[in-house]
Chains A and B, each alone.
Chain A
Amino acid sequence: MNTDILVSIKNLSRFYGSLCAVNDISFEVTRGQILGFLGPNGAGKTTTMQIIAGTLSPTIGEISVAGYDLMDYPLKAKAEIGYLPEQPPLYKEMIVEDFLQFCAKLHHISRSKIKSHVDRVIEQCNLQKVTKRLINNLSKGYQQRVGIAQAVIHRPAVIILDEPTIGLDPIQVREIRNLIRNLSEEHSVIISTHILQEVQAICSHVQIINYGQLIFKDTIGNLFSQMQLTRLNLACHRPDADMQILTQIEGIEKVEQQDEHHFHIQYTINKNPAEAIVAKSVSENWGLYELIPENRSLEQIFVELTNEQFKPIKKIGD
């Protein structure tokens, strides 16, 4: 068995009554991955994460964490998981330091090591300034960080973060993302989000879930290559009267004029003519000032994927 597979999920389904929230999902997370769980609201992200964290039971399916089956060895599996739910589970009446000590004790960290563990997460999550403050009086960003500190205090193999940047201001979002990136050096991270930029910014792998079904599962690189189109946007100060001359360059299929200065160029896959176009523009003195590859945005892909495989919510007995 490959020990580098930290989370393995097989044929997971979850029903709330007759409503199917998660429908036959299977995936694996290996060491060092940051897996982005992407999906619109109500797609089943939170349910899946709750099930991995052990706070919810699956209706059908097998989950194992760090080699331990969550059903057969729940305590051993849970010891390898750090979980931050959508709303950070913080006892607001405690001060940060006491709360983290309590969490360390909950995870059976031996008395002599508690201090070093607490100090480590305080440093990791940049909480030095607030250790003696009441959690209730902290800003949302700091509360979120205490939540993350709580999730990593026992050095779990897998960290599960449910929408960790929701409700934060842009600076806090950036800080949390940096924190998550740093964490991935030691742990595998699964984060859920409905913000596409977030996945772009921090994840190494992406999974898109919609109506409880996995509809896309790949590395972020492959997602980007899917996004690439075979189009260039060209802009020149002094274009030729007839720019169709460009079709003579190898690879270019079509040139469309947008306005006086702007042109769209369509080319064959794997034959990017950018270099030749630049050379041509210099020799003809077109005054080229823009040459931009056209990308589909993540949004477009997302919308395409979610619409393409659109399936209404399944009900038992249908």
Chain B
Amino acid sequence: MWVIAARELKSLFLSPLAWSILAAIQIVFGWFFAWLIYLFVRPDVQASLANDPNAPGLTAMVVSALFDWVGIVLLLVMPLLTMRLISEERHNKTLPLLLSAPISMTSIILGKFLGIMGFLMILIAMLSLMPLSLLIGGSLDFGQIAAGLLGLILFLGALASVGLYISTLSSHPTVAAVSTFATFFMLWMFKWAENAGSGNEIISYLAITNHYQSLLEGLFSTTDVIYYILFMALFLILSIQRLDSERFQ
């Protein structure tokens, strides 16, 4: 399992894709972060914050907003990362190497998943350095940051598991990427189902982005954490089943 994860991570960095994603995200969010800081220190904003007894602090205004956008942007980037996981192996006919080795399907899927999570961790670690730089001239609410990070990791894990599953369905990375995009948008759009009228609460409850908003605000709720864990487990199990069933076709 770890062998596959390590190879997956390594091969990501052997292609320019990983580097360009890291670079692009770093540039975009560097700029975005600077803009958030600028907004926070603007005299008029500071003045209105000073008058508001329930004013959001530095962490809420800068860090949470940053993580919120990181989630959305990665939702767009994720299909590019997950598309090749299984479909490329199938396309290059390298899947038999894994299937004929003495490892279980579960190890293959979990290895792939952990590999991509490893990459996301690197990405998140690099992005977290930005808010940490605020410590130079201010104080941060580490509890809220930790909750936000946990939320982000769980959210990305859930996205990655969906991407992995869709990748097991196809033998062309591009097809996998497009389908993953569509699925993510569906999951995202559930969020607005509420506005469509009553009775849609269930759909909006399923929206993948909703459960991580409260974590970003520093509200740690077990339901949200369990929602993401169940979500990941479901799609990982589906992926394993799918890969296993291929031998019977």
| Interface residues of A, Cβ cutoff 8 Å to B | 16, 50, 53-57, 74-76, 78-79, 81, 83, 85, 87, 89-94, 102-103, 105-108, 150
Contact = CB atoms under 8 A, between A and B. Distances in A.
A302 to B, nearest CB: 28
28 contacts: A53-B96, A54-B99, A54-B247, A55-B96, A55-B99, A75-B102, A78-B101, A78-B102, A79-B102, A81-B100, A83-B96, A83-B100, A85-B96, A87-B93, A89-B92, A89-B96, A91-B7, A91-B94, A92-B92, A93-B15, A94-B14, A102-B3, A102-B7, A105-B3, A106-B103, A107-B102, A108-B102, A150-B97
B96 A93 contact: no
Contacts of B3: 102, 105-106
Contact of B11 (A57, A91, A103, A107): A91
B104 interface: yes
Contact of B100 (A57, A78, A87): A78
Does more than half of chain B's interface fall in helix, strand or loop, or is it mixed? helix
Nearest to A95: B14
- Which of A55, A76, A92, A107 has most chain B Cβ within 10 Å? A55
B18 to A, nearest CB: 12
B95 interface: yes
Given A78-B102, A83-B100, A107-B102, 16 more contacts: A55-B95, A56-B247, A74-B102, A75-B103, A76-B102, A78-B101, A81-B100, A83-B96, A89-B92, A89-B93, A91-B92, A92-B92, A103-B101, A105-B3, A106-B97, A107-B101
Contacts of B14: 93-94
A75 B97 CA distance: 14
Nearest to B98: A106
Contacts of A79: 102
Interface of B: 3-4, 7, 11, 14-15, 92-104, 247-249
A105 B98 CA distance: 11
The 9 closest A-B pairs by CB, nearest first: A89-B97, A79-B102, A89-B94, A105-B3, A83-B100, A55-B99, A106-B101, A78-B102, A57-B247
Contacts of B97: 89, 103, 106, 150
B102 A57 contact: no
A55 B102 CA distance: 11
Contacts of A94: 11, 14
A16 B7 CA distance: 33
A93 B11 contact: yes
B55 to A, nearest CB: 51
A56 B92 CA distance: 18
Nearest to B94: A89
B247 A89 contact: no
